[in-house]
Amino acid sequence: MPGHKACAEKTLRGKLKVEKTRNNGNGRQFAFDTITAVSQTDVRLSGYDKPLNSRKESLFISNKTEREITAVEVRMTYKDMQGRMLHETEWLLRADIPSGATRRVEFPSWDRQNSFYYHKGRQPRVANVTPYRIECSVLRYVSPSVTSAGEKL
């Protein structure tokens, strides 16, 4: 339109800040604790899956603690069927998991060329693909802080 200038819009976000507290819905906020998992019975990993042509992997995380969990850090070691390491990675998997509950989480696959498949998953019909095993362990989990009286801060 004649006589009107087009102005550029600011589309970039400012610096993002890390959330150090969380609002629990009633206006109160509480801080987070990072707890190094000393026992594999606190948080259970199960049901891993990664089909051949998938760009994502998934697994189930079960919270066996008395506290809500908001994230779990896991180490995954991928090995061929002879036990040789193919890859190792660590992920911080964010998921709100109430005490006693289980949640399925997805994360990007390490297999970017779609040439590996999980040996307990569906066997592909194509040739020249490699089965692998996986070892998963919980390094730590993140949970809201709890006072000595058991009330969330």
CATH number at residue 82: 2.60.40
Higher pLDDT, 22 or 123: 123
> CB–CB of 124/114 below 8 Å?
no
* DSSP string covering 65-82: SSS-EEEEEEEEEEEETT
The confidence score (pLDDT) of residue 143 equals: 87
- Give the C-alpha separation, 111 to 125, whole Å: 18
Angle CA 119–123–128, to nearest 5: 90
Band (pLDDT 50/70/90 cuts) for residue 83 is very high
Q: Domain range spanning residue 47?
A: 32-144
- The residue-averaged pLDDT of 11-38 equals 55
Q: Is residue 15 part of a domain?
A: no
Q: Is residue 119 part of a domain?
A: yes
**92 pLDDT above the threshold of 80:** yes
The confidence score (pLDDT) of residue 28 equals: 46
Q: Is residue 6 part of a domain?
A: no
* Number of compact structural domains in the chain: 1
pLDDT tens for 135-144 read 999 999 998 8
Q: Is residue 126 part of a domain?
A: yes
Q: Is residue 71 part of a domain?
A: yes
Q: Is residue 50 part of a domain?
A: yes
Q: Is residue 24 part of a domain?
A: no
The confidence score (pLDDT) of residue 32 equals: 62
Q: Is residue 81 part of a domain?
A: yes
Average pLDDT, the chain: 80
- The residue-averaged pLDDT of 84-97 equals 95
**96 pLDDT above the threshold of 90:** yes
